[in-house]
Chain A
């Protein structure tokens, strides 16, 4: 038997997707993990406990394409009472997504943007209020694989 007839040790799913794709662009690094995000949050909050509430992280639960995922963060607090906003993605190669400080001309503690998500994972939005409290919201989402890549 020649080498060319030996089946390749590839999962069928992976094999099919590779066959359908023109070229593939593998990412370089490994992905982040929930512990890294926990460490990053602790670096922001110090010893202050993080509470759930006040922050609403709006993300689709099923993502059609991870290259541009619409995200809206709303903090239920008056303009001027929110100091900063942090977003982390624990399944991306790099867990930090965004760090934002609201200034005096901010009209509302609300932000929409589009983010990259490398894989199914949990995204965390953390808000720091002027009174020194920290609030968060988390969304666990599924990123589906596109069939026809360039």
Chain B
């Protein structure tokens, strides 16, 4: 059974026939999307992700927790203070001793500085706030640091990216490095750059985080998804973001 499935997938991916190596040029998922999907992202008045951005913008100045402080109480105008922040995340957090994603950074602010409960994971509030903060870096090149403290995490992420997983026994790299640009069923295989998260996916009919996408990929190859904030997710998210360095931040992007 599994052998049959693997064989069929291998045939579909073209293994053993004509393996074409991806070019060196980095391509955003935007470049591989249809003209209609790109148009949806290009017009802020048509991009449904802006419904979440609007929610994030209003949360930015809404007081929370016993401190009765809002994000704006400390960071003032996000359009100035948050510029470039998303392009540099995940970023090493010396206190935690590990890299931290933008979502996790916002949650940290909420629980530790505002004294408020964390926002529900993958909920509209955290997606909206992250998208609003991410928007302030739109158009800036991804610039994730690879200095000594993050090195071990980066290496771990790369190892995971190249490790075969799940019942289909596929690694991220097999599809998204070696076969990027080719087609799997009706879709072009993208290079898997996370430069637009959180983003609006037509498949989801809603907004989602990079973690949701990773969970999709893992269940897709029939692997047990790593829990959110697990060392694997931290390492893989960091590696993916670093691998996208130089691509422009597109948050909030639209993908099929």
Determine the residue in chain B with the shortest Cβ distance to A4: B1
Least CB distance, B150 to chain A, in whole angstroms: 29
Chain B residue contacts of A65, Cβ below 8 A: 37, 202-203, 256
Interface size class of B (residues with CB under 8 A): 20 to 34
Q: Are B36 and A150 in contact (CB under 8 A)?
A: no
Is residue B222 within 8 Å, beta carbon to beta carbon, of the partner chain?
Answer: yes
Residue of B37, B217, B222 near A148 (CB, 8 A) is B217
Chain A residue contacts of B212, Cβ below 8 A: 150
Least CB distance, A110 to chain B, in whole angstroms: 15
Residue of A4, A21, A62 near B220 (CB, 8 A) is A21
Chain A residue contacts of B184, Cβ below 8 A: 20, 147-148
Least CB distance, B220 to chain A, in whole angstroms: 5
Docked pose: A147 CA to B184 CA in angstroms = 6
Docked pose: A64 CA to B40 CA in angstroms = 13
Q: Are A64 and B222 in contact (CB under 8 A)?
A: no
Q: Are B185 and A64 in contact (CB under 8 A)?
A: no
Is residue A98 within 8 Å, beta carbon to beta carbon, of the partner chain?
Answer: no
Where the two chains meet, the residues of B that have a C-beta atom closer than 8 Å to any C-beta of A are 1, 4-5, 8-9, 12, 33-37, 39-40, 168, 184-187, 202-205, 212, 216-217, 219-222, 256
Q: Are A70 and B185 in contact (CB under 8 A)?
A: no
Docked pose: A21 CA to B184 CA in angstroms = 12
Q: Are B186 and A70 in contact (CB under 8 A)?
A: no
Determine the residue in chain B with the shortest Cβ distance to A23: B219
Chain B residue contacts of A67, Cβ below 8 A: 202-203, 205
Q: Are A16 and B12 in contact (CB under 8 A)?
A: yes
Mind listing 20 A-B residue pairs with CB under 8 Å? A8-B1, A15-B8, A19-B5, A19-B9, A19-B168, A20-B185, A21-B220, A22-B216, A22-B219, A64-B187, A64-B256, A67-B202, A68-B202, A70-B40, A144-B186, A146-B186, A146-B256, A148-B217, A148-B220, A149-B203
Q: Are B220 and A16 in contact (CB under 8 A)?
A: no
Chain A residue contacts of B36, Cβ below 8 A: 60, 64, 69-70
Q: Are A17 and B185 in contact (CB under 8 A)?
A: yes
Is residue A130 within 8 Å, beta carbon to beta carbon, of the partner chain?
Answer: no
